[in-house]
Structure 1
Amino acid sequence: MRLTEHLKGIEVFVAAADSGSFTAAATQLHLTTSAVSKGIARLEARLGTRLFERTTRSLNLTDAGDAFYLTCTRILAELEEAQTVLAAERNEPAGRLRVDVPVTFGRQHVMPLLLNFTENNPRLRLHTSFTDRFVDVIEEGIDLAVRIGSIDQLPDLLAHLPIGQERLILCAAPQYLRQHAPIINSRDLDQHEYVMYGRADGSISPWHFAGPDRQIERRAMNGRIVLGSGEAQVQAVKGGYGIAQLATWMIRDELQRGELVEILPELSTAGLPVSLVWPRSRQLLPKVDALSKFLACHLPSTLSSGRQQDRQ
């Protein structure tokens, strides 16, 4: 079957699914209701399955129709994107821009940059998802993703650009340090409370310390408070509930305002790498090329506070 045969009826099908009515779909597409009904019938016959459950009062997708709808909307979006790119000048970012970012880092540091980038490129339509799960960039139609973590196992279909690395420090609130024993060296930590990061499976992330030869030592710490959110950790440490090891990008403002202070700076160490990832098939698109360069220019400065950088 030729490609044009596969495409027949898709627009009619999506319009009917979106509107929940053949009549509404006909109005939207400037067709008759009969033409829409016949188009859906021909599509179902070609596919060999029912796409809609029809009653006198409602029009609902079947399970097969729901799966087919997801595929069709993606195809139509990609066709629209291709037309937009071809119509735009080659040096002007245009069309829908799908970006995926980590939840906390994305909210604090990437989103302000994306808004600025979009404001300066009015032909763009920004769609941003915030998730800490592993996102399949190609399968989910992402134009560019910001990733915190290893990218050693990236498939060949993806391109990437390292933009920096987290810096992990031990920190506490000034009032906590005033009320507890002094911390002169790492042995003194045994007398203190910890605010730890824990995952849903019950595991607790160890702390990372830099040894005398700069080798990284992973040490399990028995914290009284274990939280599954970095932002919640920050709030608990600011509240004086103990010491935490956090990435400086997460507490940059708190450090600058003096709400948190670094302790035992000699134990600070590098954390996870931060990278930009995008499909190789899209890297020549003006929108992807421009955004990758923009983020690569502005994101590195967010990964550590200015005061800490001065000591390096």
Structure 2
Amino acid sequence: MIHRELLADMPVFVAAVEAGGFSAAASRLNLTRSAVGRTVARLERQLGVRLFHRTTRSLTLTEEGQTVFEHGRRALAEIQGAAVMLESGRREIAGRLRVSMPVLFGRKCVAPILIRLATAHPRLELDLSLTDRLVDVAADGFDLVVRNGALRDWPGLTTRRIARQPMRVCASPAYLDASGVPQSIADLARHRAILYGRPDRPRSWLFPQPSGPATEIIPPSRMHIDDVGAIRDAALDGHGLAWLPCWLIRDDVESGRLVPVLGDLAAHVFDSHALWPQTPHLPLRVRLAIDALAAALPARVALPA
């Protein structure tokens, strides 16, 4: 039997995980830190499991906590998505919505959500620009911009995090059969990797630690590529391990063409943000587009449970 309190407490627990701690979640939810702590403790009692490993310096999910978080986040996203669709069904959206987004991420993750929104609103006109260059939101006339990674200072813009993109190390079954499956970060030194960037400036692979900075690794490689889609293709062909966003390899993992490894390690995440010009009266079409992305995007960027 699902207790009413469980449904009420789940958003607080999910916020604590996404924010990285009770204090940050309290600030986001306009609660006290102790209120967040009491809510999580009550949820643990209801479920009969411990959700966090707690120390004086860190707060990390238990295995049970990770399971509850994934299912809870998915359920909340479904509820929020339903609310957005109900609201949008009651209120007419019209006019042009001009959105800029990264090429591959936009094509696979962002554009389908906005196209679905336009399908529900025949008077909404979409103008989607897929580009990896940094655009000037105001000067280029965009209503909304989607960008990944750390944000610089954007004067005159409002931002909202709409998803977190977990990364995974993966490889083809053929490569793992021939070279073995790495069991630890140290094992990466004995493998071939397909790295992003140039040979003189490769991108490190990041592995978060319970306390302190993330561990940065640059595995041995004879293949450097500055396009994640091409890195995926090389991994599918068995050329080595790849460190890729989950949204890019989702179908390959479900079909067995790629196999995630080192799954017991924490996954590094890149934030996805929506940015739009500051205005006292945000047009309904822009607000509903942002809400639709925040509701549907998290499920698209995660690996299936």
TM-score after normalising by structure 2? 0.66
The answer to whether 1:119 aligns with 2:119 is: yes
Contact 2:197–2:203 under 8 Å retained in 1: yes
**Superposition map of 1:19-34 within 5 A:** none
Q: What is the rounded CA distance, in whole Å, between the counterparts of 2:280 and 2:123 in structure 1?
A: 17
Cα shift at 1:151: 2.3
Q: Residue 192 of structure 1 corresponds to which residue in structure 2?
A: 191
Alignment-mate amino acid for residue 157 of structure 2 = L
Q: What is the rounded CA distance, in whole Å, between the counterparts of 2:210 and 2:137 in structure 1?
A: 40
**Superposition map of 1:124-273 within 5 A:** 124-155=124-155, 157-198=156-197, 203-211=201-209, 213=211, 215-273=213-271
Task: List structure 1 runs of 4+ shifted beyond 3 angstroms.
Answer: 211-215
Q: Residue 279 of structure 1 corresponds to which residue in structure 2?
A: 277
Cα shift at 1:283: 5.4
Q: What is the rounded CA distance, in whole Å, between the counterparts of 1:96 and 1:120 in structure 2?
A: 15
Cα shift at 1:236: 0.5
CA RMSD of aligned residues (A): 2.1
Q: What is the rounded CA distance, in whole Å, between the counterparts of 1:97 and 1:250 in structure 2?
A: 26
Q: Residue 37 of structure 2 corresponds to which residue in structure 1?
A: none
Q: How many residues align structurally?
A: 216
Cα shift at 1:279: 1.0
Shift of the 120–182 alpha-carbon distance from structure 1 to 2, 3 Å rule, reads: closer
Cα shift at 1:91: 4.2
Alignment-mate amino acid for residue 143 of structure 1 = D
Contact 1:167–1:268 under 8 Å retained in 2: no
Partner SS for 1:112: helix
Farther-moved stretch of structure 1 (273-282 vs 234-243): 273-282
Cα shift at 1:138: 1.0
Q: What is the rounded CA distance, in whole Å, between the counterparts of 2:177 and 2:219 in structure 1?
A: 22
Contact 2:207–2:268 under 8 Å retained in 1: no
Partner SS for 1:92: coil
TM-score after normalising by structure 1? 0.65
Structure 2 residue ranges without an equivalent (≥5): 1-89
Q: What is the rounded CA distance, in whole Å, between the counterparts of 1:170 and 1:143 in structure 2?
A: 35
Q: Report the identity percentage.
A: 34
Structure with larger Rg: 1
Partner SS for 1:256: helix
Alignment-mate amino acid for residue 279 of structure 2 = S
Structure 1 residue ranges without an equivalent (≥5): 1-89, 308-312
Q: Residue 94 of structure 2 corresponds to which residue in structure 1?
A: 94
Shift of the 282–222 alpha-carbon distance from structure 1 to 2, 3 Å rule, reads: farther
Cα shift at 1:264: 1.2
1:298 to 274, 296, 305: 296
Contact 1:170–1:268 under 8 Å retained in 2: no
1:55-114 CA distances to partner (integer Å, 9 max, x unpaired)? xxxxxxxxxxxxxxxxxxxxxxxxxxxxxxxxxxx9422111101111111010111112
Alignment-mate amino acid for residue 123 of structure 1 = R
**Superposition map of 1:29-48 within 5 A:** none
Q: What is the rounded CA distance, in whole Å, between the counterparts of 1:222 and 1:130 in structure 2?
A: 33
